[in-house]
Amino acid sequence: MGAMLDHSRSKSTRMKISEQCLERFNKNKTDFVHRFITMDETCIHHYPPESKQQSKQWTEAGCSAPKKTRWVPSAGKVMASVFCDAEGILFIDYVEKGKTITREYYSNLLTRLDEKICKDLVCKRKKIIFYQENAPTHKSVLPMGKLRELHYELLEHPPYSPDLAPSAFYLFPKLGLFLAGWRFSSNQKAIAAVEGYFADLTKNHYRDEIMALEHCWNKCINLKGDYVEK
């Protein structure tokens, strides 16, 4: 019974927050998009696994499929914290395997973000709408204080809702498809591939990512808080 109540509350919370976000989005859609900054984190593996589609191979009748080298979970990886807006990537911070992102570290990333924004006089005059992944480190006292200090408008993100994070349903899956099957001998080569991928994307890609949030919030509301697959 308790689990059912928790699930019901979770759905109710997701629906309520989606309604609030959608209302904020619709106040002035164009202005919202051009002041909206999002961040999320993803792991870049030295041996990214192939997607199901990429791993398919044709074989002749009666022949077994060729053996493949298995992905090694212990291989190197680097954590990427990606900050972007409707124009493109603002900056990416990379943390090597074995290191963690603390609240102090993340607070410093927010300072770096603001320094980047302040270089653009047009952006500097805007009140930033900020949407971050709902990790405990991001929601701790120090980073939240930093966001208030910077006068960013924090758009609430429902707990345990990757389906409502634009990077999780748009930016990172496409990056994963691009990297699938690659083999990197170092962090530097993995980072270079990621940087090259993002540099080749058009501005429309990033704007479309933000605009897709409207669809996800609407769908979450229509589904009464159930999870959004696409």
Within-domain flag for 215? yes
Within-domain flag for 57? no
Number of domains in the chain: 1
Within-domain flag for 59? no
Kindly report, residue by residue over 184-200, the tens digit of the pLDDT: 999 999 999 999 999 99
Full domain range(s) for residue 135: 38-50+72-222
Residue of 171, 175, 99, 166 lying closest to 137 (CA atoms): 99
Q: What percent of the chain has pLDDT over 70?
A: 82
Within-domain flag for 123? yes
Within-domain flag for 55? no
Q: What is the pTM of this model?
A: 0.82
Kindly report, residue by residue over 6-62, the tens digit of the pLDDT: 557 889 999 999 999 999 999 888 889 988 999 999 989 898 765 544 444 444 445
The whole-number pLDDT of residue 55 equals 45
Q: Which residues of 63-73 are buried (b: 16+ CB within 10 A; e: fewer)?
A: eeeeeeeeeee
The CATH number of whichever domain residue 122 belongs to comes to: 3.30.420.10
Within-domain flag for 12? no
Within-domain flag for 206? yes
The single residue listed with the structure tokens 């990416």 is 92
Residue of 76, 75, 74, 149 lying closest to 107 (CA atoms): 149
Mean pLDDT taken over the chain:
83
Give the chain's count of helices (H) and strands (E). Answer: 11, 5
Within-domain flag for 114? yes
